[in-house]
Amino acid sequence: MFIGQMPNVTVSTGREAVFTCIIDNVYNFKVAFLRVDTQTILAIDDTVITRSARVTVRHSIDKDERLSTGQRKTWQLYLKEVTPADAGGYMCQLNNFEPMVSQVAYLHVTVPPDILVNESSSDLAIKEGGNATLKCSAIGYPEPNITWRREDYQPIDMNQSVGVVEGSILNLVGVHRRQMAAYLCIASNGIPPPVSKRILLRVEFAPAVTSHQREVFQRLGEPLKLHCQCHSWPQGYTSWTYESNRLPSEKAAVDYRPQAGLIATDMYLNIADMQPQDKGNYTCHCSNIHGTANWTISVEVVAMDAVQQRRMAHSSWSAEHEEDEHENLENEDEFSSPPPETTTTRQTTIVQLSTTDTTTRKTIDANYRVTQETKRSDDDPPFLRQQKKASNKAGLPTSLTSKASANISSLFLLLLLITSLIDNQHPLA
């Protein structure tokens, strides 16, 4: 007779299922395994009847003093690489019994979820204000649970904003452009891995153009950048016009930059150097199959203010002044060289008196500096002359100053004498 009930078996697809049947006092009776739904005999005793290579059978005898025979037999049916088609009832039967004695156990094959693509929605485009229905079908065992969420993790905007929606169908009523996104249908049943399908919802709407600029004032000679942004789907055709005429390419540089979501497009217009003829109305245009929109920016050209004009004038004057100083330095270098002499005799005299001439030049330079300082002192205001007098009182004694003046005068007289001698000895031709 049977000892206990043959247990049910649950395995994942692709694994091995084992049915165990324990019997006492078998004697000469045979043990058979059958498939209940098809009444197919799989094995009798140690012999496999079915032609499937996936089926094997084994038995063992164990001692058990609690039993009347003192032993028991354990029969096991092995089914390898199970599939969902193998699920169902399996019978362990003792032949030659009247009535027939048997036990039935059930095989449950778990199947990871799988989404039926052909029975689920694909990418969808709908005009703003319409209704959208997204459907997702999945199979698996146990039956999968289906949830919806946005790919960007933003709330799903229905009657109220929710993060996750359960059910195989997602209904969106009166869709708005903000609901345009990729939606994920996720199927899970506790058997890894869960699966998902991405469904992209596009909401079509007419263009809308915005800008932070309405009136722009720009100075002459400075660059100008205008900016508009177009929101539309499908992506709009964009352009710029100047005074209702198409903008020539040589007038300004135009740059169109679609954003990551392809819903918004930035439109830039760049003018490198503003001129009086550049003032006027600049309009950015955006259009698609649902409509057209534009934005006009008024541009005024203003002259430089007084501060800028003074800066420009000062800059020009500084540049001219630096050029004049450069020319004066070059002229001084030219005139600093002594003129060439015409006679050999005078050249010889200059060579002989080179030492005296050097001393004389130094004396003249020193006398010239003293004279210039005296003149500047006379031109000083009274309070400055008083400060200088006080400084002189605190400095060298008056006697030393007088001696220095006497020495300078003597050197000057010596210079005049030498010059007179030279002219007498070698009169100019």
Residue 110 CA to residue 143 CA, distance in Å, equals 10
211-302 and 116-205 share a CATH fold: yes
β-strand pairing of 17-23 with 291-302: unpaired
Q: Which tokens sit at 4?
A: 């206990």
pLDDT tens per residue, the chain (429 residues)?
Answer: 788 899 999 999 999 999 999 887 766 678 999 999 999 999 998 899 998 999 999 988 877 666 565 567 889 999 999 999 999 999 999 886 677 889 999 999 999 999 999 999 999 999 999 999 999 999 999 999 999 999 999 999 887 788 999 999 999 999 999 899 999 999 999 999 999 999 999 999 999 999 999 999 999 989 999 999 999 999 888 889 999 888 766 666 677 776 656 688 888 998 988 999 999 999 999 999 999 999 999 999 998 666 665 665 565 556 555 655 555 555 545 444 444 443 333 333 333 333 444 444 454 455 555 455 555 555 555 544 554 554 454 444 444 444 555 566 677 777 777 777 776 665 544
Q: Which of 59, 13, 12, 11 is nearest to 33 (CA)?
A: 59
Give the pLDDT of residue 359.
46
Give the pLDDT of residue 156.
93
Return the H-helix or E-strand segment holding 297: strand 291-302
Largest Cα separation within the chain, whole Å, is 173
Task: Calculate the CA 292 to chain-centre distance.
Answer: 31
Residue 383 CA to residue 389 CA, distance in Å, equals 10
Give the pLDDT of residue 59.
87
Question: Which residues, at least 6 apart from 81, have a Cβ–Cβ distance to it below 8 Å?
Answer: 14, 15, 16, 54
Residue 330 CA to residue 327 CA, distance in Å, equals 5
CATH number given to 9-111: 2.60.40.10
Give the pLDDT of residue 307.
61
388, 377 Cβ separation under 8 angstroms: yes
Give the pLDDT of residue 365.
56
Whether omega for the bond prior to residue 142 falls within 30 degrees of 0, making it cis, is: yes
- Please name every residue paired with 35 in a beta bridge, in sequence order, or none if there are none: 40, 90
Give the pLDDT of residue 198.
96
**Protein fold of 211-302:** Immunoglobulin-like (2.60.40)
As a residue count, the chain comes to 429
Q: How many CB atoms lie within 10 A of CB 254?
A: 16
Q: Which tokens sit at 308?
A: 């800028």
- Candidates 3.40.50.300, 3.40.50.620, 2.60.40.10, 2.60.40.1180; correct CATH number of 116-205? 2.60.40.10
Q: Strands (DSSP E) along 118-223, which ranges?
A: 124-127, 132-135, 138-141, 145-150, 156-157, 161-162, 165-166, 169-172, 181-188, 195-210, 215-219
pTM reported for the whole predicted model: 0.59
What are the sequence ranges of the domains in the chain? 9-111, 116-205, 211-302, 305-333, 344-425
